[in-house]
Each structure stands twice: as structure tokens, then as C-alpha cells.
Chain A
Amino acid sequence: MTVALAGNPNSGKTTIFNNLTGARQHVGNYPGVTVERREGSCRYQGKNLMIVDLPGTYSLTAYALDEVVARNFIIEEKPDILVNILDASNLERNLYLAVQLLELERPLVLALNMADMAVKAGLKIDDQVLGAKLGCPVVRTVGNKQQGMEDLLNAAVNLGEKATGSAFAVDYGPEIEQAIAKLVDSLAAIQGLKYPKRWLAVKLLENDRNVTESFSAYEGSQAIIANVEALRSELTQTMQQETELAIAGSRYAFVASVYNSAVVAERAGAASTSDKIDAILTNRILGLPIFFGLMWLLFNTVFELGTYPQEWLETAIGAFGDWVGNTMPEGDLRSLIVDGIIGGVGGVLSFFPLILLLFLGIAILEDSGYMARAAFVMDRVMRAVGLHGKSFIPLLIGFGCTVPAVMGTRTLENKNDRMVTLLVVQLMSCGARLPVYTLFIAAFFPTESAGTVLFSIYLLGIILAITMAYIFRKFLFKGEAEPFVMELPPYHVPTLRSIFMHMWERGYLYLKKAGTIILAVSILVWFLTNYPAEVEYSKDFAQAAVQVETAFEGHVSEDILAPLGIEKLEDNEALTAMIADIKAVEEEYGAKAEEAGEDEALLATIDSEKEAKLQEIEAGGAELYPVAQQYLELETAKDDELAALQSEEAGEKLAGSYAGQFGHFIEPAIRPLGFDWKIGVGLFAAFTAKEVLVSTLGTIYSLGETDETSVALKDAIMADPHFTPLIAYSLMAFVLLYAPCLAVLAVVKRETNSWKWAIFSSIYGTTLAYIVSFAIYQIGTLLGY
């Protein structure tokens, strides 16, 4: 048995759906559109019920995609039972949808949800009268307290067993009724209609383009459609208004008569708690500061709190990679798994805590009712660039990470607004680009102007986001703007259960993506940077390594072993022990110093403690101590040389790889931006994630493992005669603007349901980056920078 839940937004429909199905639910999309389809199962009295949560709507017109999807589901998939969830404290407007659902002539149960709130608001609803007037069973529920679920299921199952559908008709008044009667008569001649005749007649009179279009496929429909035109213009004449508005008006008049006979409002007009809260939160003076304060809080909580679990995850993933690396035999398979898969997928996975926290925050804002107010407060600003009040939050989140920002555009109902927001979110500079800026600013700009340079990059992103939003709105997604006509629901304390379900659902989608698309592309990028395996090296690296080892042994025996008169180090136990002791001290304090970071006072303490320990060791054998130190110096020098050789080899390998060849190939194209092939390879690899640019440049400059704090890489790029501050700036602008990272493309694909927009977002981003960097480099060169 299929049960479809329908209702207004904010009627508590999703809470009831969650109550009924628990964890046994599944989120997908309706075929061909991005409207979410949730379904779940539920067992009641030995029956298996399939519960479908239809999109929340105020009406069933053809103007909104959600509304079309909801009514098509009811018409085409014919659910056995419709359950209409109504906000009992706001019954009149909610009944308007109920009436339209009844007109579809399917068995319907009315669930008066938030019945407790209605009582609190002083509304006395007579269920008997309501049920009798509308000809359907009425139950009471309180979704967030899990009350009335049994009654609801009972009523649904009972009705489903006997009813075949209800004959229900709204009286539209003599003029319209006459037209309906004429149409119903002529519709009798059409074979195999899937619509109820009266409903179809009303929809045709309403000039519903969706219904008219699918009706025109029936044989003999043309004459009827022509007749509809005539009837409509006749009605417009006599009624003095558009027929569809007259119909909606009559429907509301019917609703009002039902409402007035079934509901008594005992205390009307008293300011509710919600009104009092609202008076502060959207106050003309306090409204904006409160909004920005809350956004600041959200942003900081997510990125401050989220960093800890993110670091733990990174460490765990790193440790796992090391473990796999140590367990597996050396070879391509190990490299693929450790560098390609664990490195690529792990990098994306480490964002998981951030995503969860962010969606926790958004769920609280949404469920409490504040989100609608945030849109209310910000709408004037956002509209100036053709966006909607609700666009602000995804854009702000974009400064943290573009992935959750793209997912956050779901709060926008209108497709045009949503697409424009989704496409410009990538221009807000995300956290992953910061390592790149930090590296180049530190290398090429004086400390006193570092902040200004960084700010100018962020500002560039914001200005271009505004410009692009305006352009997209004007040319790509024109058409009527989304009405801002929306309900400002009463504030209420959200339930933990619904918040966590919300959060987990989004988080799960993210994990699923990491497991599929990112896995595939990580493997591809690994392949391109590691193959062809045979590269022509400038020298024999294995031979060179052997030479370094031999030279080291020669020095040791000449400078250390010979003066002591021993053959190998182990022969002098005191020396061996001392070397081990010094190494242990160096290691211990090295680790401590790393933890201390840039805390200079702490570093000084660590340093003096270390000196004290070393002096202790020296006191244990004053004449051996210099020898031990000398040995350690020789060993360090050898290790450094070997590492340098390894990095050099890796650098040459990368230069000869497909990615390296690609870098050389595109060099002519990126030269006008000031970039050479090395930057080309870096940008290519950084397509997976922007911070990868830093580690790739590290490999190319033969430095081995590097990060943005690495002094070595900074020195290396400063030493490269090719680089200038102008090129660095052009590169930073390019990194800001060009194709978003892989994870973003994957979510764009998921959120828009097509590769088209994912590809578009990278093409437009890269084009924009090219134009801007070209302008920066060329104009900068002309100006003599």
C-alpha cells in the first residue's frame, strides 16, 4: 500500500515522515528533475506501507516545479492513500491545499498537525464538522512529540481498504460552474483520460500550461482546447478578472466557509511569543547586526571546531596510508593505493567533520524558523545583483569550503536563483586556496603589505561573483524572478532528532560522492603524474646514491674510526650509546618544537631544556662528545644528499610524465599570463584540490614532501629567475578563479543532476581566470612591474 504525504512547507510534514519511517528511508530525485524524492517503509498491522514524502507546497499550480511534481505523482502513480498534513494553528491557508488535493478525487486523510500549538493559540477546531464538510477522516497529531502516529496510520489503512476515491466538488459559482459543466460533457467523448474529468475541466479553465500540453496529446482534444479559449475570454468579460484568479478566489471562499463553520478563535490578535522574538530578530536597527553576528558565529564554530576532528581524521588517514605503505611490497600497486587512492579520497574525506558541523548549523537555523528571517533581512542587498535573500548563506559558507556551499543552495526553491548562486559560489575564496596565497605572498611581498594583498584577492573574488551573478541572471537564467512571497513560520525549538537526521542525510550524500567520482578521478590523476614509468633521466640516480653512501663510509672510517683505533662504530660501546642518546634528545625536542609552532617563548624554553640535556650527555664523556657530534653531522649530511637525489629523481619523473608533457604542451597558451610549464603542471594537478598546487610545485622543484610553511619551497621559487611578484599575483588570481576542485564538480553534478553544469562551471571558471590573469600580467608588464 502506498501512502503519499502532502502539505504546506512548515507544516511538520518531514517530521511526521521521519516518525513513520525512522531509518528505513531513501532520498533520490524524481526522474529528470532535481526535486528530491523521499520514500520510506513502515509496517502497520502486518501490512507493509510505502510512504512517499511529496515536496512541500502551498498550491498545485503549474508555476512551480515542486507543485507539478507533487500533483503528477498523485495522478500518475495513484498512491492508495493521500495524507494531507496541515498546520492546525494556521488552518485556513493550509486547507486551501487540502481542497485542491480533494479535487484530485483520491482517498484522503487530513492530519491536523501541531494540534497543541492550535490549542495554545486559542483555536477550537471541531474535527467532526471539518470531516463532514470535506468528506474525509480527520486525525490529530503532534509530530515533534510523536503523538497521533498510530491514529494516523489507522485512519489511512482503514480508508485504503474501502475507499476508491471521493467525489468532491467546490462550488465555483454559476458562471464558472456552467463552463465546467460544458467541458465535462465534451470530455466524456475522450478515450482513456488519466485525469478526473472535473479536475481537468477546472485546470483547462485555469489555463494550466502543463495540463493543457499533456491533454493536447489525446485524440479529439483540439476542439475542446479551442472551446476553452472561448470560454475563458467570455468568463474574463463577465467576471471582470482573469479566470484563474476567479477560480482561486472561489476556492478560498469555499475554504473560508468550511473554516468558519469548524473553527472558533477564542483569543485572536494576542501577540505570541514568536511575534515578540521576531520583533527583536528582524528589528530595523538590530536586524542586520544580529544576522551578521549569527553568521559569524556559525562560520567560526564550524571552522574552529571542525579543524580538530579534521586534523584527527587527516592523521588517521595518514597513519593508515603509512601502514599500507609499510605492509605492501613496493611497486605500482602500492603507489596507486597509497598516493593515488588514500591520498585523493582521504583528502576529501577529511572535510567530512566540517560538512557535518555546517549542516548541523544550517539545520538549526532552518528548523528554528530563522532562515526565512535571514532571507528577509538580506533580500534587499542580494536583489541588487539579481539574487534572492536566501543566496547569502551559501555564498558566505563558500569562504570556508565550496562543497558545503554548493550543497547549501538547496534552501533556494527557485531554479534560476539556485543555479546562479550555485555557479558563483566557487568565486568566493575557499580555505583550500589559502595555502597557495600564503606561500606566494610570503615569497614575493613584504610583510607589511601581506594583509592588503590577501584581502585584495578575496575582494577580487567577491567583485567577480557579483558581476557574474548579474551576467548569469541577465543572459542564462532570465525569466521571472522568484517571488519573495513566502511564509515567515513561527519560531520554535527544533527537535534533536530532526536536526540530526537532516545533518546525517547531507553528510551521507557527501560520503557517497567521495566513494565514487573522487575515487575515479584520483586514480586518473595518479596515473597521469606517474606514467610513463620509463623516463629519460639526466643521470643514473641509483649509481649516485651508492656513491653518496661510499663517500660517507670513507669519511667515517677516516675521521672517526681511525683516530679511535677501532674498525667499526659498535666496537666502542660508549660512543655508540652516546650517539643514540643524542639522537633521542634531538628527536624528542624536535617533536616538541614542532608542536610549539610559532610560540617563540615556548620555543626558547624548549631550546634551553634541550641544551641542558645535551650538556648532561657531554658531562658523561667530555672527550667522546665532539666525536659523536661529528659523526652525527656526517650522517645528517649524507641523509640530506640522498633525499635531494630522491627529490630530483621525482622531479624529473614528473616532468617526463603525461602531466609534465601536458605542462610543456600548454606552456605557449599560459605564457601570456606569465606562467611556465611548471606552473602548468601544478595547476593541472591542483584541479583535484587547489592546495595540491603547493605540494606539486614542491615535487617539481625537487624538494620532496612540502607544505606552505616550508621555507625550502619559498626559497626555491624566490630563487627561480622566472618568478616575479607580478607573476605571483597573476597566479594567485588564477588559482582563485579557475575550475573548482574535483569535489565541487562532483557535488555540482549531483545537485544539478547533470554533467553539463559541472563542465560549465569549470569552463567558465577557467575562462574567467584566463582573462583576469591575462589582464593582470599584461597590464602589469606595461606598467613596468
Chain B
Amino acid sequence: MSKTLSHLKPGESGIVKKVHGCGAITRRIVDMGVIAGTRIDVKKFAPLGDPIEVKLKGFNMSLRKTEADLIEIEPA
């Protein structure tokens, strides 16, 4: 698979290309506003490296790396 959100490091950004998967987790990700074309900034990793904190549409959100793996991105 191509690059996903989980590959980004703190301070990096990307544009959402597609959200993969189906079911509750994918739906929750989409409901939070992660849809194609949305810009996501990676703010930081939690002290133990996971989950990660991102910023999109003016708010901060946390998600696990496994969840970030569902979000395919392209360079900003």
C-alpha cells in the first residue's frame, strides 16, 4: 500500500487521499472529518510512541497507529 498517515513524523503534514477499510473504525475516522482532500498535520507521538496526535479542520485529534494506517495520504 502507498504511504499512510502512520508514516508521518511529528511536524509533517499530508493531504488525505482515501480512507480504507469498513466498519466502525473507518466510519468514526470519516465522521471526524478525515475525508479526501483534508489536510492533516501530525503534532506529536504519545510518550510511548503510540497513539499520535494530529490537527485537522482546526481541532486536535488522537488516533492509534493502526487507525492511522487506514488513512492513505499524499504529500501536502
* A residues in contact (CB < 8 Å) with B: 58-59, 61, 63-64, 89-93, 96, 121, 241-242, 244-245, 248-249, 252-253, 265, 268, 275, 278-279, 282-285, 287-288, 372, 375-377, 379-381, 383, 389, 480, 483-490
Give the CA-CA distance A275 to B64 in the complex, in Å: 20
CA distance A372 to B45 in the complex (A): 14
Task: Report whether A485 and B47 are in contact in the complex, using a CB–CB cutoff of 8 Å.
Answer: no
Q: What are the interface flags for B48-64 relative to A under an 8 Å C-beta threshold, 1 for contact and 0 otherwise?
A: 11110100011111111
Bound Cα distance from A121 to B26, whole angstroms = 30
Complex interface: chain A residues within 8 A of B48 (CB): 288, 377, 380-381
Q: Is the CB of B47 within 8 A of A285?
A: yes
Please give me the residue from chain B that is nearest to A244 by CB atom: B27
Q: Is the CB of B47 within 8 A of A58?
A: no
Known: A287-B46, A377-B46. A58 touches B32 (CB 8 A): yes
Out of A252, A381, A487, name the residue touching B35 (CB < 8 Å): A252
Q: Mark B23-41, 1 if CB is under 8 A from A, else 0.
A: 1111111111101100000
| Chain B hits for A91, CB < 8 A | 58
Docked Cα-Cα span, A566 to B76, in Å, equals 110
Contacts of B69 in A (CB 8 A): none
Contact A93 B29 (CB under 8 A): no
Select B18's contact among A61, A96, A241, A379, beta carbons within 8 Å: A241
B18 touches A287 (CB 8 A): no
Q: Does the CB pair B44–A485 fall under 8 Å? A: no
Question: Which residues of A are found within 8 Å of B25, using beta-carbon distances?
Answer: 480, 483, 485
A282-B53, A380-B46 given; A248·B35 CB < 8 A = yes
Alpha-carbon distance between A284 and B10 when the two chains are bound, in angstroms: 11
Is the CB–CB distance between B62 and A372 below 8 Å? yes
**B28–A485 CB distance below 8 A:** yes
**A96–B59 CA distance with the chains assembled, in angstroms:** 14
Q: How far is the CB of A18 from chain B (nearest CB, A)?
A: 24
Q: With A63-B24, A90-B59 known to touch, is A379 a contact of B46 (CB < 8 Å)?
A: yes
- Find out whether the CB atom of A63 lies under 8 angstroms from the CB atom of B28: yes
Across the interface, do B19 and A252 meet the contact criterion of CB distance under 8 Å?
A: no
| CA of A616 to CA of B58, assembled, Å | 82
What is the CA–CA distance of A288 and B47 in the complex, to the nearest angstrom? Answer: 7
B1 interface hit (Cβ, 8 Å):
no
- Which of B46, B47, B64: most chain A CB closer than 10 A? B47
Q: Is the CB of A488 within 8 A of B57?
A: no
In the assembled complex, the Cα of A485 lies from the Cα of B57 at a distance in Å of: 15
Partner of A284 from the list B23, B45, B51, B60 (CB cut-off 8 Å) is B45
Question: Given contacts A248-B27, A287-B47, are A485 and B59 in contact (CB under 8 A)?
Answer: no
| A-B CB contact pairs (8 Å), 12 listed | A59-B27, A61-B31, A64-B24, A92-B58, A93-B59, A96-B31, A248-B30, A379-B46, A379-B50, A380-B49, A485-B25, A487-B59
Do the beta carbons of A483 and B63 come within 8 Å of each other?
yes
Q: Which residue of A lies closest to B63 (CB)?
A: A485
Instruction: Tell me whether B51 and A248 are in contact (CB under 8 A).
Output: no
- Nearest 4 interchain pairs by C-beta: A380-B48, A59-B31, A287-B47, A63-B24
Chain B residues positioned under 8 Å from A96 (CB to CB): 31, 33
B17 → A minimal CB distance (Å): 11
Given contacts A248-B31, A379-B64, A381-B48, 19 further A-B contacts (CB under 8 A): A58-B28, A61-B27, A63-B24, A63-B28, A64-B24, A241-B18, A245-B22, A282-B53, A283-B47, A285-B47, A288-B47, A288-B48, A379-B50, A483-B29, A483-B63, A485-B62, A489-B59, A489-B60, A490-B60
B12 in the interface (beta carbon within 8 A): no
Task: Tell me, in angstroms, the Cα distance from A484 to B61 when the chains sit together.
Answer: 9
**B67 interface contact, C-beta 8 A:** yes
In the assembled complex, the CB of A485 is this many whole angstroms from the nearest CB of chain B, namely 5
Q: Which of A96, A245, A375, A485 has the most CB of B within 10 A?
A: A485
Once the chains are docked, how many angstroms separate the CA of A61 from the CA of B24? 9
- Minimal beta-carbon separation of A227 from chain B (angstroms): 21
- B44 engages A284 (CB within 8 Å): yes
Closest chain B CB from A80 CB (angstroms): 27
Name the residue on B nearest A89 (C-beta). B58
Residues of B within 8 A of A379 (CB): 46, 50-51, 64
A284: which B residues are within 8 A, CB to CB? 44-47
Cβ-defined contact, B33 with A252, below 8 A: yes
Please judge, given known A-B contacts A242-B22, A278-B60, whether A485 and B46 are in contact too, CB under 8 Å. no
Q: Report Cα–Cα, A35/B18, bound state, in Å.
A: 33
Give the complex CA separation of A89 and B59 in angstroms.
9
Chain B nearest Cβ from A26, distance in angstroms: 30
- How distant is the Cα of A241 from the Cα of B70 in the complex, in angstroms? 14
Chain B: CB-nearest residue to A289: B47
Chain B residues whose CB sits within 8 angstroms of the CB of A383 once the complex forms:
64
- The residues of A that contact B36 with a CB separation of less than 8 Å are 249
Set A92, A249, A381, A480: member contacting B57, Cβ < 8 A: A92
For A245, give its contact among B26, B57, B62 (CB under 8 Å).
B26
Q: Assess A484 versus B31: contact at CB under 8 Å? Given A241-B18, A381-B48.
A: no
Rounded to whole angstroms, the CA-CA distance of A244 and B19 in the bound complex is 12
Also in contact, A93 and B47, with CB within 8 A (given A485-B29, A485-B62): no
A484 close to B58 (CB less than 8 A)? no
For A282, give its contact among B23, B35, B44, B49 (CB under 8 Å): B44
Partner of B61, one of A244, A288, A485: A485
Given contacts A282-B47, A282-B53, A381-B48, contact A484 B18 (CB under 8 A): no
Contact of B35 with A249 in the complex, beta carbons under 8 Å: yes
Provide the residues of chain A in CB contact with B33, threshold 8 Å: 92-93, 96, 252
Q: Given the interface contacts A285-B47, A480-B25, does A486 sit within 8 Å of B19 by beta carbon?
A: no
Closest residue to A100 on the B side, CB-wise?
A: B31
B60 with A487: CB separation less than 8 A: yes
Instruction: List A contacts of B18 (CB < 8 A).
Output: 241
- Residues in B whose Cβ lies below 8 Å from that of A61: 27, 31
* A245 to B23 alpha-carbon distance, docked (Å): 10
Q: Which residues of B contact A485 (CB under 8 A)?
A: 25, 28-29, 32, 61-63, 67
Docked complex Cα distance between A268 and B58 (Å): 9
Chain B: minimal CB distance from A116 (Å): 16
Are A488 and B44 in contact, with the CB atoms below 8 A?
no
B residues near A381, Cβ cutoff 8 Å = 48
